[in-house]
Amino acid sequence: MRGKVAVIGVGMIKFGELFDKSLETMVQEAYLNCLNNVDKGIDPKEIKAAWFGQWSGGFIGQGAQSGQSLASFIGNRDIPVTRLENACPTGGDTFRHACLGVASGLYDVVLALGAEKMRDKPAAESLGGAGGGGGAETGNHPAWMIGQGGPAIQALHATRQIYELGHTM
Amino acid sequence: MTQPAPASPVYWRFNPEVFRLIGIKCNDCGHISYPRTMICHECGSLNLEEYKLAKKGTVHTYCVNWAPPPNFEPPITPVIVDLEGGGRYQGLMTETATPEDVKVNSKVEMVLRKLITDRGLNVYGYKFRLVEED
């Protein structure tokens, strides 16, 4: 594979609880922001494949979508979509696979998009329940799973980083 | 992550880890893997022997959780502890007057405590408490 890959447009929406927005609305707003960000514009039908990153839809209330739902959300039902779920690295890995799609020469233009609808469940389930985080050990040890959760595990990392590198909050 | 139900087979399967602190030491690179494993997580070696973790150590990192999972009263203080002789253990602090007493490098020791009461069943395991500095 010798193909070079370029990011030609990016789009994001403001993060928040967003009780008034559905997963579809969030996806569509980010997607339209991305299209509008492309220099000199783009015909959306040039997008020939997509990767849909979701940390874990089933756990946190948005439902485990198929990748193909993204194709419907963006009105481009003919394209293949892979839904990619890979814990915290989901976003980076989704982007990596989209890059491989172009670098391989299979596609000229692809979409990488990630979305999480986290707050349709109570915080104890959506935030506390979220995140294995600790990797191979934590997810294996029953006592280590008690009283943890994604935010706590990230906070443990942050404390150590502040200690070692002198960062401030 | 989701906490396992108290009747989950995971407690039976990991009984040697949870109550006797049995892990693995790599005879090639010296890395201590815990829970036990057939392949050293650090170097991939199969040349391993069982290793019992020490119950004392120092706090590697900590945080204060004011929004803990169900069945906990906030705040709780998760810690990761570097154990004497090697290996790390992740758990919760107990018997602290305030969470602010816990710092990186605080000396701690394991004590057997009730971790949680869930669906009418008690789950036991090790927690950490501060030890007096000499």
Of B60, B67, B90, which is closest to A144 when you measure between CB atoms?
Answer: B90
Helix spans in chain A (H): 23-37, 57-60, 68-73, 90-103, 123-126, 150-165
A132 against B74, higher pLDDT: B74
| CATH code of B80's domain | 2.40.50
Nearest one of A11, A5, A145 to B71, comparing CA atoms = A145
A147/B14 touch (CB, cutoff 8 Å), yes or no: no
Please check whether residues B85 and B132 belong to one and the same domain: yes
Mean pLDDT across chain B: 91
pLDDT of A26 over the 90 cut: yes
Please check whether residues B111 and B84 belong to one and the same domain: yes
Alpha carbons A27 and A68: distance in angstroms, whole number: 13
B96 against A139, higher pLDDT: B96
Convert the pLDDT of each residue in B11-39 to its tens digit. 888 999 999 999 999 999 999 999 999 99
Q: How confident is the model at residue A147 (pLDDT cuts 50, 70, 90)?
A: confident
pLDDT of B73 over the 70 cut: yes
Structural domain for B16, as ranges: 1-52
Q: Which structure tokens are listed for A39?
A: 């220099």
CA distance B78 to chain A (A): 7
Please check whether residues B45 and B96 belong to one and the same domain: no
Give pLDDT, residue A135.
57
Cβ-based interface (< 8 Å): residues of B facing A: 1-4, 8, 10-11, 14, 17-18, 33-35, 41, 60-63, 65, 67-70, 72, 76, 78-80, 90-92, 104, 115-116, 123, 125-126
Residues of A in contact with B78 (CB under 8 A): 147-148, 152-153, 155-156
Please check whether residues B102 and B86 belong to one and the same domain: yes
Classified as helix, coil or strand, B5 is: coil
Please check whether residues B102 and B45 belong to one and the same domain: no
Q: What is the pTM of this model?
A: 0.81
Q: Do B129 and B112 contact (CB within 8 A), yes or no?
A: no
Alpha carbons A110 and B110: distance in angstroms, whole number: 52
Nearest C-alpha in B relative to A129: B1
- With 0-12 / 13-18 / 19 or more C-beta atoms within 10 angstroms meaning exposed / middle / buried, residue A169 is exposed
Domain count for chain B, please give it. Answer: 2
CA distance A156 to chain B (A): 5
Please check whether residues B77 and B44 belong to one and the same domain: no
Please check whether residues B47 and B71 belong to one and the same domain: no
Q: Do B82 and B104 contact (CB within 8 A), yes or no?
A: no
CA distance B133 to chain A (A): 21
Please check whether residues B115 and B84 belong to one and the same domain: yes
pLDDT of A87 over the 70 cut: yes
Alpha carbons A23 and B113: distance in angstroms, whole number: 42
Residues of B in contact with A137 (CB under 8 A): 33-35, 41, 90
Residues of A in contact with B92 (CB under 8 A): 146-147
Q: Angle at CA B86, nearest 5°, toward B98 and B130?
A: 15
Alpha carbons B28 and A81: distance in angstroms, whole number: 44
Please check whether residues B65 and B131 belong to one and the same domain: yes
Give pLDDT, residue B72.
85
B61 against A168, higher pLDDT: B61
Query: What Rg do the C-alpha atoms of chain B give, in angstroms?
Result: 16
CA distance B91 to chain A (A): 6
Q: What is the mean pLDDT of residues A149-155?
A: 82
Q: How far is CA A81 from CA A99, B103, B130, in A?
A: 14, 47, 52
B3/A146 touch (CB, cutoff 8 Å), yes or no: yes
Phi, psi of A25 (to 5 degrees): -60, -45
| CB within 8 Å of chain B, chain A residues 34-63 | 59
Give pLDDT, residue B61.
96
Please check whether residues B46 and B62 belong to one and the same domain: no
Give pLDDT, residue B134.
64
B63/A152 touch (CB, cutoff 8 Å), yes or no: yes
In chain A, what are the domains? 23-114 (3.40.47.10), 131-165 (no CATH)
Nearest C-alpha in B relative to A132: B1
